[in-house]
Amino acid sequence: MGETVKPVVNISEVEFRDTGHGDKFAARLGQVAARIGSKGIGCNVTIVPPGKAAFPYHVHHAIDELFVILVGTGEYRFGDERYPIRSGDVLAAPKGGPENAHQIVNTGEGDLQYLAFSTKTETDVVEYPDSGKFAVSSRFDWNTGSGGVRYIGRAENSLDYWDGE
């Protein structure tokens, strides 16, 4: 028999991993949903230090996201707008095109902590408007960086359908 998954976890019990890049991106991510047996909805705890963002400005084509700010203050960049955010705010990030691109930046003096919820799918396309790139993934585990297929590129590098055939 398989191990029984406890359907409850306290945020204080979540194990975190560090992620980041350069001087703009840094965060501690803690998986919640998988740990409690959630299959259709993803959830993690994200902790972002002052002056940083966890992820680049982006939009998913197949995944809806929702964020609940637990602690701290920041700015929510959504489409062409910027919104001040604080503890208790709930942020929508529906799938779509660049008009729904989003990014959370910690503009406060202490850590910004939030819950990040998402619908689950095995296949997604993500656009990054600031850098002009996109990512395509199928059955790829973004938490471990393994499995399935993942490609990150730019449209101008696209091959012809018949290339190499």
**pLDDT exceeds 80 at position 67:** yes
Beta strand pairing call for 90-93 and 65-71: antiparallel
pTM for the whole structure: 0.92
Position 27 scores a pLDDT of 98
Arithmetic mean of pLDDT, 13-32: 97
Position 144 scores a pLDDT of 75
Per-residue pLDDT tens over the stretch 77-119: 999 999 999 999 999 999 999 999 999 999 999 999 999 999 9
Residues 48, 22 contacting (CB under 8 angstroms): no
Amino acid (one-letter) located at 90: V
Beta strand pairing call for 133-138 and 149-153: antiparallel
Task: Report the alpha-carbon distance of residue 113 to residue 70 in Å, rounded.
Answer: 5
Fold of domain 13-121: Jelly Rolls (2.60.120)
**Secondary structure letter of residue 111 according to DSSP:** -
147 vs 54: which has the higher pLDDT: 54
Domain ranges of the chain: 13-121
Residue 46: name the closest of 19, 27, 33 by CA: 27
Residues 61, 126 contacting (CB under 8 angstroms): yes
